[in-house]
Structure 1
């Protein structure tokens, strides 16, 4: 048994606990969502030819705020900050429904506290966190 397989097996066992399952799904979605938004905003900033300092000036923020937003592994920006950055880049943050398959993978476990295939869910959530961002037009 490899470490990778052992990890997924251990995580699948942990996901059988309804409380752990809900926390893991919610945190995974939070991380994936913030990463996707921040990565898309940074790609838009680069496409617009703006430096981080120029973007900070546009929203009247300290340059360090924008540097942290785009480089910190442990960021937790407010929706207000993300909306201001998006507006300065000619973008808007929107909410979109999950697709049918993803809704079954994510929403069901959150509401019911259980999942039919914990290992499949864990791998799905991991894949969400590693998707490449779409560059806004």
Structure 2
């Protein structure tokens, strides 16, 4: 428990540096967003009964491209690739506004370079970056 506390204390201290805060927020949002989109696309692929190879053929890429997209712990696909995969699954990629609470907790510190609650910001971003498996309906 002491190590866990020390980690959060150190991270909160690091987040006092505006450059570090901005980089940490941006990277956390990037990871959370890509994970959410890739997970949704993989669930749609499975629901459609398509293999990764069939999906690759549909968008004319090597099967390894699709395997890496869905199997990698750290995928970094282009928006174009995500849009092509989504189209092949009858979907599209869209943007949605962050809820007001999250705007205050994430966007405001990103724009201002500081947070009134660096520890809370760190915990919130960590929660976003931690994959949460969906419960089957």
Do structure 1's residue 84 and structure 2's residue 94 form an aligned pair? no
> How far apart, in 2, do the equivalents of 1:104 and 1:21 lie?
15
> How far apart, in 1, do the equivalents of 2:73 and 2:132 lie?
16
Aligned length: 135
Could you tell me how far 1:130 is from its partner in structure 2?
Answer: 2.2
1:36-77 deviations in whole A, cap 9, x for unaligned?
Answer: 000100011111111100100010010000000001122210
RMSD: 1.5
Gaps of 5+ in 1: none
TM-score by length of 1: 0.94
Aligned ranges 1:81-120 → 2 under 5 Å: 81-120=81-120
1:42/1:70 contact within 8 Å kept = yes
Gaps of 5+ in 2: none
Do structure 1's residue 42 and structure 2's residue 42 form an aligned pair? yes
> How far apart, in 2, do the equivalents of 1:68 and 1:15 lie?
32
TM-score by length of 2: 0.94
1:64-107 deviations in whole A, cap 9, x for unaligned?
Answer: 00000001122210000000000000111000000000000111
Could you tell me how far 1:35 is from its partner in structure 2?
Answer: 0.5
Q: Residue in 2 aligned with 1:69?
A: 69
- SS of the residue corresponding to residue 127 of structure 2 reads helix
